[in-house]
């Protein structure tokens, strides 16, 4: 999964020291467990904490301060003050904002081993994926938007001889960011980097299952030199802290990544409060169309990586694979052979490529959907069972003979389940691929670029990958059609989500 482009060295300011070598990390090194408001570490207003667990072992990692509505109010007040006209943040020139983002990227590079280890402990994802994908993508996202900070500008518009207009792109204001548990560090960067590049202030609520890397980022934001109140981090639960952000009258925009159902609640709350802007990156039931003229081994490997990456806990999961009838049986056979090579085990072991599900609730949901597939007549080709009776590990699972009416064909599983369908014609494949309430991503595997471009034009998804999968880059916009979301993250397109356009019109003096 490629999450960004660019070189790590790009843009480092002369006064910024090169980060030192990574150091080993232990559980006792988890030091940041409080709420981060106004560049201070504070306790919960009500004195509550909650535990975060290692899903691979079930062991408690630590207790984290639990933010609720009162704490969110304090965070919003700090963010609003930091964004006021005349504040240190607003007086800062755009180039200096970029330097701060580069400095933050330097600090993330310095702490990348620690952050990757904490991410693996908190999420259960394999360590090498945390280190080389999540951390790499996080750093490149920061550097990409650091480069945009002094390039956000409007236009001059000559209306006629009497009037001229100019446009200005101004910060939206206080931005709430509600991030998910599957990519907690990377989604933190996807939210704060464009927001800060445009001059906004931010209140971030990390997922209650995985708050630790977001809280560590609070320490780095302070160390980097961001003014107090520019970034605030409120760990807590969706119905309390998350709802407080969505309903807050002084939050001007909310960016959310998560389920479609929660996204609907956030949009409703935004409309009923102050009509705050909303960016929603939601669920997916993503189709891959594999034509007979494709590179078959590539298609097998990429669709399976798409299905099983991060234990299938991805909105981009390749969960519906439509294979042309003439190569269907060969595709299934090769997919089974490929799945047998996946190493399930300790996420901290460098050999492991498949870890546990995040928690018992997700585990039970996945197993229920696997059982529904069996009952509804799909053929279980591989996996389909827990690794043991007392763990959250599920074997990578392959179904063939899947029909469009089955639950596993319609519902977002968010687990390691690959569903393989058969099709006869291109028109049939397009029709069935589009027959979903979701429209996040899709993929096409073919050696014909004419066919690839024709099919990509017909697919109702925000992203189409051709002969690849999960190719995400900081430069490329990401978001969905239909019930997969509203707005775009990443790339230049994301800047529009974090700016207001102001038109200023001048009456010109008549020439003598």
Whichever domain contains 231, its CATH number is 3.40.605.10
Look at the block and give the residue holding tokens 């356009």. 501
Statement to judge: residues 176 and 316 lie in one domain: no
Statement to judge: residues 43 and 155 lie in one domain: yes
pLDDT value of position 10: 33
Statement to judge: residues 275 and 291 lie in one domain: no
Number of domains in the chain: 2
Closest CA to 105 of 144, 47, 132, 155: 144
Which residues form the domain of 365? 286-478
Statement to judge: residues 239 and 178 lie in one domain: yes
Statement to judge: residues 335 and 461 lie in one domain: yes
Residues of the chain scoring pLDDT < 50: 1, 3-25
Q: How far apart are CA 278 and CA 256, in angstroms?
A: 8
Statement to judge: residues 89 and 210 lie in one domain: yes
In a domain, 25, yes or no: no
Could you say which of 281, 324, 489, 497 is catalytic? 281
Closest CA to 54 of 354, 363, 346: 346
Statement to judge: residues 108 and 231 lie in one domain: yes
pLDDT value of position 196: 98
Q: What is the CATH number of the domain that holds 453?
A: 3.40.309.10
Statement to judge: residues 276 and 359 lie in one domain: no
Does 9 qualify as catalytic in the annotation? no
What's the predicted TM-score (pTM) here? Answer: 0.92
In a domain, 2, yes or no: no
Q: 112-123 and 212-224 helices cross at what angle (nearest 10)?
A: 160
- Measure CA of the first residue to CA of the last residue in the chain; give whole Å: 64
Q: How far apart are CA 414 and CA 398, in angstroms?
A: 14
Statement to judge: residues 269 and 293 lie in one domain: no
Look at the block and give the residue holding tokens 């059609």. 481
pLDDT value of position 23: 43
Q: Which helix (H) or strand (E) holds 217?
A: helix 212-224
Statement to judge: residues 330 and 224 lie in one domain: no
User: What residues have CB less than 8 Å from 274, skipping those under 6 apart?
Assistant: 249, 251, 252
Q: How far apart are CA 287 and CA 322, in angstroms?
A: 7
Q: How far apart are CA 332 and CA 398, in angstroms?
A: 9
pLDDT value of position 159: 86
Q: How far apart are CA 439 and CA 483, in angstroms?
A: 7
Report H helices in 17-155.
69-82, 88-91, 94-110, 112-123, 127-129, 135-148
Look at the block and give the residue holding tokens 């996080």. 138
Statement to judge: residues 248 and 128 lie in one domain: yes
Statement to judge: residues 278 and 291 lie in one domain: no
In a domain, 23, yes or no: no
């Amino acid at each position: 999964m490629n999450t960004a482009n660019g070189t790590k060295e790009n843009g480092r300011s002369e006064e910024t020291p090169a980060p030192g070598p990574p150091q080993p990390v232990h559980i006792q090194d988890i030091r940041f467990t409080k709420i981060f408001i106004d560049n201070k570490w504070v306790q919960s207003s009500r004195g509550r904490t909650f535990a975060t667990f290692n899903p691979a072992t079930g062991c408690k990692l630590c207790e984290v301060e639990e933010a609720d509505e009162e704490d969110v109010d304090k965070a919003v007040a700090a963010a609003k003050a930091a964004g006021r006209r005349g504040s240190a943040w607003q007086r800062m020139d755009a180039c200096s904002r970029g330097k701060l983002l580069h400095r933050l990227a330097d600090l993330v590079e310095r702490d990348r081993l620690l952050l990757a280890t904490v991410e693996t402990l908190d999420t259960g994802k394999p360590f090498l994926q945390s280190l080389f994908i999540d951390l790499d993508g996080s750093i490149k996202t920061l550097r990409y938007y650091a480069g945009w900070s002094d390039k956000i500008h409007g236009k001059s518009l000559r209306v006629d001889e009497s009037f001229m207009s100019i446009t200005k792109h101004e910060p939206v204001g206080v931005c709430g960011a509600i991030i998910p548990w599957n990519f907690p560090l990377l989604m933190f960067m996807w939210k704060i980097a464009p927001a800060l590049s445009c001059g906004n202030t931010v209140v971030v609520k990390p997922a209650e299952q995985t708050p630790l890397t977001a809280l560590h980022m609070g320490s780095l934001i302070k160390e980097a030199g961001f003014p107090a109140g520019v970034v605030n981090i409120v760990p807590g639960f969706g119905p309390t802290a998350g709802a407080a952000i969505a309903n807050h009258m002084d939050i001007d925009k909310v960016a959310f990544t998560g389920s479609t159902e929660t996204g609907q609640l956030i949009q409703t709350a935004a409309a009923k409060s102050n009509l705050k802007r909303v960016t929603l990156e939601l669920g997916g039931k993503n189709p891959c169309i594999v034509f007979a003229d494709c590179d078959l081994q590539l298609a097998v490997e990429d669709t399976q990586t798409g299905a099983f990456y991060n234990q299938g806990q991805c909105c981009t999961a390749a969960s519906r694979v439509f294979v042309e009838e003439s190569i269907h049986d060969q595709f299934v056979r090769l997919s089974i052979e490929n799945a047998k090579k996946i190493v399930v085990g300790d996420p901290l072991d460098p050999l492991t490529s498949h870890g546990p599900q995040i928690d018992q609730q997700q585990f039970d949901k996945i197993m229920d959907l696997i059982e529904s597939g069996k009952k509804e007549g799909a053929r279980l080709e591989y996996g389909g069972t827990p690794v043991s009776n007392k763990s959250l590990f599920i074997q990578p699972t392959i179904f063939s003979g899947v029909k469009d009416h089955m639950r596993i064909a319609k519902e977002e599983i968010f687990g390691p389940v690959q569903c393989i369908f058969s099709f006869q014609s291109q028109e049939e494949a397009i029709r069935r691929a589009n027959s979903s309430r979701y429209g996040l991503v899709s993929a096409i595997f073919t050696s014909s670029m004419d066919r690839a471009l024709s099919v990509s034009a017909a697919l109702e998804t925000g992203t189409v990958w051709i002969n690849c999968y999960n190719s995400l880059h900081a430069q490329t916009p990401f978001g969905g059609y239909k019930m997969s979301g509203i707005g775009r993250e990443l790339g230049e397109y994301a800047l529009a989500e974090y700016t207001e356009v102001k038109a200023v019109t001048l009456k010109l003096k008549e020439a003598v």
